[in-house]
């Protein structure tokens, strides 16, 4: 029966097929095959070098009748023909037929109506454990009648041939919406599996009037929901992991008719510089059986983890089921958001620490998806570099960004959610001159926003960015709230603010034909 199920995918496996093994069994298979090691306290340690992050230039979507008019083709969504997909698929199937297989069946989306069933067929036992951690786990009863809506054929040891398969390199992540399949070859980085399904949901859910979002979400004691959007390094995980609030999810959500729902059953947190003091919940998860430590350094003798060692990569990752977080909402569901927080690490030091946005400004900043890289983070970066990623997740958006922004605007107006822009970057000057925002102050501002403490507060208009900035926040010195006053030289602030404003305007030109006039003028002056 198991082999017959795989035959439906065109697979006729010649070797052992392992179906939905438990974490303990997958540990045994991984350690026995020498593809993973055991860390102190029981986590599994894996290595994916040379690919220690996603390969955005190797991501493809099959261009056919179903995608021709709906996908925004370009450097983010590279097209590949159905013929090239077929040739690569044949190679993948032939390869998988000759190796031991691990099959993991799961769900993506904690919503009975809008979630999709996912099957991952892989040569790797630890990648099967990753799928077990990251997707929503099904009961034995649910597995009896399981039929996948989308299937991932995962062959990381296999390499594509660009001259034959139409790829850029030997690595390829190819989504075929007509065949409801994803092919992954040439990379062991586990994030490709979960992000490929996220891209699938970003394409199919808008057709069902559900907004897919690259954000974390939590809920207060009274059930009020807050969303946190932000690019890497802005504090999305840190600020959503609030001991006083319950975690719905840390990365991917949908906003549907009844509220928000998590796409995943686990968390995939960055591990660099992780400590018990700064991130106690995540740190606790790294000490537990079932957790995967991806590209994280351990002592060869004691097997103790060194989260400060970036000799493999700064993008070390930790994968664990969400119930490893003590205050997680395991249903993955919440009501309609009361507050939406956009996080940005402004290395120019000119954006206010917190500001209130109108729905039109929210759409503008959602489309902008701004943060900044600082000197030293990448080779050749000697001064702050503005980075814009539409909807805070451009690499995963098959459709035009304006589609998602319009859906967000509709929901903000319908449900009255308040939107806040929070700068977790620099104050009193840009990177190298000013100082990083005090985390305790940022936490106090976010707490004041999501608990309604700023409802009756007086706001003043920022003259450059047009944002409403509170004049007082409990627990935060008033001089922190006005960025111009925090600079020693006001003229230098003005020059830096105008420079960043021009960057915003230049970037937004590509969205002007996707939005209304009210949104077009909602940016910097």
**Exactly one of 51, 54, 114, 411 is catalytic; which is it?**
54
Gap between the Cα atoms of 443 and 353, Å rounded: 11
Does residue 208 carry a catalytic annotation?
no
**Exactly one of 51, 317, 333, 356 is catalytic; which is it?**
317
Does residue 251 carry a catalytic annotation?
yes
Does residue 25 carry a catalytic annotation?
no
Question: Could you identify the residue written with the tokens 């030997």?
Answer: 170
Does residue 114 carry a catalytic annotation?
no
481-520 b/e (C-beta count within 10 Å ≥ 16 → b): bbbeebbeeeeebeebbeebbebbeebbeebeebbeeebb
Q: Which one, of 440, 476, 457, 455, lies nearest residue 242 by Cα? A: 440
Gap between the Cα atoms of 132 and 266, Å rounded: 9
**Exactly one of 124, 131, 237, 238 is catalytic; which is it?**
237
Q: What is the DSSP string of 471-498?
A: S-BTTB-HHHH-HHHHSS-HHHHHHHHH
Does residue 236 carry a catalytic annotation?
yes
Does residue 195 carry a catalytic annotation?
yes
**Exactly one of 114, 195, 365, 418 is catalytic; which is it?**
195
**Exactly one of 78, 214, 245, 373 is catalytic; which is it?**
214
Pairing of β 181-185 and β 150-155: parallel
What HEC string does 383-440 produce?
CCEEEECHHHCHHHCCCCHHHHHHHHHHHHHHHCCEEEEEECCEECCCCCCCEECCHH
Does residue 54 carry a catalytic annotation?
yes
Quick one: tokens of 119? 């099957």
**Exactly one of 251, 338, 346, 447 is catalytic; which is it?**
251
Confirm if 6 and 17 have CB atoms less than 8 A apart: yes
Q: Which one, of 423, 431, 427, 401, lies nearest residue 515 by Cα? A: 401
Question: Could you identify the residue written with the tokens 């454990």?
Answer: 129
**Exactly one of 55, 70, 232, 330 is catalytic; which is it?**
232
Does residue 214 carry a catalytic annotation?
yes
Q: Kindly list the catalytic residues.
A: 54, 195, 214, 232, 236-237, 251, 317
């Amino acid at each position: 029966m198991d082999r017959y199920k795989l035959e439906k995918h065109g697979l006729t496996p010649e070797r052992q097929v392992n179906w939905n093994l438990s974490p303990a069994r997958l540990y045994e298979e991984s350690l026995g095959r020498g593809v993973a090691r055991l860390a102190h306290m029981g986590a599994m340690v894996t290595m994916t070098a040379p690919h220690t992050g996603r390969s955005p230039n190797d991501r493809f979507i099959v261009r056919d009748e179903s995608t021709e008019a709906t996908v925004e083709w370009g450097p983010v969504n590279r097209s590949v023909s159905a013929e090239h997909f077929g040739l690569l698929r044949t190679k993948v199937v032939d390869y998988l037929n000759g190796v031991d297989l691990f099959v993991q069946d799961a769900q993506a989306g904690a919503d009975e109506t809008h979630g999709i069933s996912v099957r991952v067929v892989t040569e790797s036992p630890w990648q099967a454990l990753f799928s077990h951690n990251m997707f929503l786990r099904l009961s034995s009863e649910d597995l009896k009648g399981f039929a996948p809506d989308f299937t991932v054929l995962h062959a990381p040891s296999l390499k594509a041939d660009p001259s034959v398969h139409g790829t850029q390199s030997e690595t390829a992540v190819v989504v075929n919406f007509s065949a409801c399949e994803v092919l992954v070859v040439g990379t062991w980085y586990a994030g490709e599996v979960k992000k490929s399904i996220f891209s699938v949901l970003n394409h199919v859910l808008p057709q069902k009037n559900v907004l897919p979002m690259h954000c974390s979400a939590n809920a207060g004691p009274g059930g009020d929901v807050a969303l946190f959007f932000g690019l890497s390094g802005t504090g999305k995980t840190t600020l959503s992991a609030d001991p006083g609030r319950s975690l719905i999810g840390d990365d991917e959500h949908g906003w549907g008719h009844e509220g928000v729902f998590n796409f995943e059953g686990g968390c995939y947190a960055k591990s660099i510089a992780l400590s018990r003091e700064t991130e106690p919940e995540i740190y606790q998860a790294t000490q537990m059986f079932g957790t995967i430590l991806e590209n994280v350094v351990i002592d060869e003798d004691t097997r103790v983890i060194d989260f400060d060692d970036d000799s493999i990569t700064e993008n070390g990752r930790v994968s664990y089921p969400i119930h490893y977080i003590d205050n997680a909402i395991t249903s993955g569901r919440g009501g309609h958001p009361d507050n939406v927080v956009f996080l940005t690490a402004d290395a120019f030091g000119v954006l206010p620490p917190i500001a209130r946005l109108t729905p039109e400004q929210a759409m503008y900043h959602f489309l902008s998806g701004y943060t900044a890289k600082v000197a030293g983070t990448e080779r050749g970066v000697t001064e702050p570099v503005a980075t814009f990623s539409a909807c805070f997740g451009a690499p995963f958006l098959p459709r035009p960004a304006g589609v998602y922004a319009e859906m967000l605007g509709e929901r903000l107006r319908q449900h009255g959610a308040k939107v806040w822009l929070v700068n977790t970057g620099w104050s009193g000057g840009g990177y190298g001159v000013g100082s990083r925002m005090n985390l305790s102050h940022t936490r106090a501002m976010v707490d004041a926003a999501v608990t309604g403490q700023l409802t009756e507060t007086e706001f003043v208009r920022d003259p450059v960015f047009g944002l409403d900035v509170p004049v007082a926040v409990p627990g935060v010195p008033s001089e922190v709230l006005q960025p111009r006053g925090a600079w020693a030289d006001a003229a230098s602030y003005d020059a830096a603010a105008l420079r960043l404003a021009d960057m915003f305007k230049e970037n937004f030109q590509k969205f002007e034909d996707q939005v209304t006039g009210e949104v077009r003028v909602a940016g910097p002056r």
